[in-house]
Amino acid sequence: MRRILIAAVVAALSATVAACGQSAGESASTGTTPTAGTTPEAVVATSPTASPVYVRNLYGAEQGRDDSSPENLVLSEFSSMNGITWTSWGPDQAVGTGALSGSWCLPGCTEKPYEATVTLSGVTTVRGTRYFTQFAVDGDFPKPDPADTLAGSLPTP
């Protein structure tokens, strides 16, 4: 009789633990209501904070370096930004404003760079470190020829 009571308590506790963090009747992994005769799936704990995200920055570093919220950033062989103020950084996207210049806007933008907004995205993991892999620049300035696009891929190690 004691074994039956212990088994009933263990079963009740297991069901309670599996239901934690779900609304009534939802499955932890799918958010759907389980059908009769099924058992709830185990709840997988995740970290509330994601690992940091970096950008591989070639500004002042020919081989590049891992950087977080850099003030100056080389976007491509055609464009770079200086004096960037980041309004957000990670875990999936970074957004900042700064002075845009590049070979596509010479000679005008060397004297007076354009105010622009850069968005970094496309996070990937390389050897355990997370990196932004894509950039897009927008602003009120003359757009370059399609070959000198202001969107593209960022380097990774």
Q: By percentage, how much of the chain surpasses pLDDT 70?
A: 66
Cα dist. 64→59, 80, 86 in Å?
A: 7, 14, 20
Residue 74 pLDDT level (bands cut at 50, 70, 90): very high
The answer, yes or no, to whether residue 24 has pLDDT greater than 70, is no
What percentage of the chain has pLDDT greater than the value 90?
50
Write out the DSSP string of 65-107.
EEESS-SSEE-SSSEEEEEEEEEEE-SS-EEEEEEEEEGGGTT
Tell me if residue 12 falls in helix, strand or coil: helix
**Per-residue pLDDT tens digits for 117-131:** 999 999 999 999 999
The neighbouring-strand residues paired with 134 are: 121, 153
Q: Are 56 and 66 in contact (CB under 8 A)?
A: yes
Band (25; pLDDT cuts 50, 70, 90): very low
**pLDDT score at 80:** 93
Does a cis peptide bond (omega within 30 degrees of 0) precede residue 91?
yes
User: Which pTM value belongs to this model?
Assistant: 0.66
Mean pLDDT of all residues in 99-115: 85
Burial class of residue 144 in the structure, from the number of CB atoms within 10 Å of its CB (0-12 exposed, 13-18 middle, 19+ buried): middle
